[in-house]
Structure 1
């Protein structure tokens, strides 16, 4: 690991820490404020991949993973209104989703990194974000995986409600997942602008 990787590591760490804090605060009925910060982790990964290559991107991902584990560990020791802020299932879902989604993002980006410039960051982020959402919400809240933490009652997440308040009935956690996924996809498009600006600046000859 060299100094040139440090900004990426610090940026990833800041995003992970901020998201772990902001996920405690609701935004509307289906989202938390953390939903608006976490997707930028993919931007950091893609910038590192474009400028410094797959190896550097993976190092940044692993650094973010370690920071996430530390945040989860701290969260398990803090009690909220309904128990620990972070349960085992949430910690497991968060860790698995982050690591798998980010590493898949790195691999896909590298595989299609040829021109046009926007294809690799957009496609890799869309696929990575989709995996992230599916893994986190199913591991953390699906009733089918209740055996992962039998003492943790997540029956509230399985309550059958209209999807996003107006669609067909589905478990509540699916509405939460769909709302989160929609934000990720929207930010994937928006992030193309800073991706282009940052990578163009970093790749300029000194």
Structure 2
């Protein structure tokens, strides 16, 4: 590990730990506070990719994955009001979603790095965020994957309700996924500002 990787690894670790803590606290009916911190993991990955290349970005992602894995393992051992704070399905979904989505982000960013400055971070983050949401919520809450943890009752997530309270009827977990996805899309746009400023500051030119 080179010293140049340390800031990215520390930033990724901080985001992962904060998100694992904040996901325990609700924000309205469809979200948790963790939904507002986790998407910035893609910003960290994209900055590492732009400034140090895809190999460095992948190392930052692996470090974040290991921190997230540790957080999930700790969460499975802490009892909450309705059981463990982190079920095995959530742990599997979280780890699989993070690693897959972040690696896809790295690959797409690298392919688009020679285009307009905003194209690579925006497209890669939108693709990675969409994949992350789809994998996590389906693995963690879909009734079709109940065999992953037979002892974990997630029937509450399958309750059929209007999508986000106003749309067509769908399982509750899909409303949670859509709300999470919409936040990720919004923050992908917001993250372009710090991305541009940080890259320009560190390279002393607009890329």
Q: TM-score, normalised by structure 1?
A: 0.99
1:104 aligns with 2:104: yes
* 1:186 equivalent in structure 2: 186
* 1:202 equivalent in structure 2: 202
* 1:21 equivalent in structure 2: 21
- Which ranges of structure 1 fall in alignment gaps of 5 or more residues? none
The offset of 1:115, in angstroms, is: 2.3
SS in 1 for 2:182: helix
The 5 Å alignment of 1:83-94 reads: 83-94=83-94
Q: Which runs of 4+ in 1 moved over 2 A?
A: none
- Which ranges of structure 2 fall in alignment gaps of 5 or more residues? none
1:62 aligns with 2:51: no
The 5 Å alignment of 1:1-206 reads: 1-204=1-204
Q: String of CA shifts for 1:13-66, please: whole Å, max 9, x gaps.
A: 000000000000000000000000000000000000000000100000000000
SS in 1 for 2:167: coil
Deviates more, 1:110-119 or 1:36-45: 110-119
| C-alpha RMSD of the superposition | 0.7
1:97 & 1:9 partners in 2: Cα distance?
19
Q: String of CA shifts for 1:154-206, please: whole Å, max 9, x gaps.
A: 0000000000001000000000000000000000000000000011111139x
The offset of 1:114, in angstroms, is: 1.1
Q: Number of aligned pairs?
A: 205
1:114 & 1:141 partners in 2: Cα distance?
39
Q: String of CA shifts for 1:63-115, please: whole Å, max 9, x gaps.
A: 00000000001100100000000000000000000000000000000001112
SS in 1 for 2:161: strand
SS in 2 for 1:29: coil
SS in 1 for 2:95: helix
1:87 & 1:172 partners in 2: Cα distance?
18
